[in-house]
């Protein structure tokens, strides 16, 4: 079994990356081949709406035709059995890197034909880990459950398998809160996962 994790955070050793590493450790403990990819190490763009992935009898049907550092990542994802994505929530949504990956990965596999939702032939299971510094109570009031988390879960099901998500709230942002203008956050209340 191949399990791949994609870290959409610019930090390679903080909350999101730490949780993804724990997931991979669990998968490895039952014999899976694992790999983590840090999106901020790569040079890529989001979808350019070229529609090469939808062209009849085209060589790129079901695959993004753009060639950059994300090309190899998407190939690895499509060859995997399980995909884990991780992203901090910035301004109410996932990072730009994760959004660009989702655009290119999912749009190229989305069918425009009636009764066919996906051109992907496999069953890729997926999980999404979201990290954020806000308290859980704020999260409930903001209705993120339906607007972001459930929406991305539904989108990932284009890949043919089940999808789940996990939310980590009250996460640390800084090593030393006294050095930052952040009085609205209670350092004692946050969850440290660095």
Instruction: Please give the residue range of the domain that contains residue 120.
Output: 2-189
Rounded distance between C-alpha atoms, residue 130 and residue 135, angstroms = 13
Number of domains in the chain: 1
SS (H, E, C) 78-133: HCCCEEEEEEECECCECCHHHHHHHHHHHHHHECCCCCCCECCCCCEEEEEEEECC
103 has a pLDDT exceeding 80? yes
Tell me whether residue 183 is in a domain: yes
> What pLDDT is stored for residue 121 in this prediction?
67
More reliable by pLDDT, 97 or 119: 97
Beta strands (DSSP E) in the chain are 2-7, 33-38, 82-88, 124-131, 160-168
Is 167 within 8 Å of 140 (Cβ atoms)? no
* Tokens read off for 162: 């089940």
- What CATH number is given to the structural domain containing 169? 3.40.50.360
Is 194 inside any structural domain?
no
This prediction has a pTM of 0.86
Residue 17: inside a domain, yes or no?
A: yes
Residue 194 is predicted with a pLDDT of: 46
3-state secondary structure of 31: coil
In a domain, 159, yes or no: yes
Q: What is the pLDDT of residue 29?
A: 96
């Amino acid at each position: 079994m191949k399990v791949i994790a994609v870290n959409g955070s610019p930090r390679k050793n903080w909350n999101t990356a730490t949780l993804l590493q724990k997931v991979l450790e669990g998968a490895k403990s039952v014999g899976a081949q694992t790999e983590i990819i840090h999106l901020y190490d790569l040079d890529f763009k989001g979808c350019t709406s070229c529609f090469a992935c939808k062209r009849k009898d085209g060589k790129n049907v079901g695959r993004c035709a753009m060639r950059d550092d994300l090309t190899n990542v998407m190939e690895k994802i499509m060859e995997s059995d399980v995909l884990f994505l991780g992203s901090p929530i910035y301004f109410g949504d996932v990072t730009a890197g994760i959004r660009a990956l989702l655009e290119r990965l999912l749009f190229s596999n989305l069918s425009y034909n009636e009764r066919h939702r996906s051109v992907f032939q496999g069953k890729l299971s997926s999980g999404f880990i979201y990290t954020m510094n806000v308290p859980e109570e704020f999260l409930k009031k903001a209705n993120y459950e339906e607007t972001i988390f459930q929406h991305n879960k539904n989108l990932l099901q284009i890949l043919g398998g089940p999808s789940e998500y996990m939310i980590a709230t009250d996460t640390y942002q800084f090593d030393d809160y006294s050095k930052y203008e952040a009085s609205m956050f209670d350092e004692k209340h946050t969850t440290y996962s660095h």
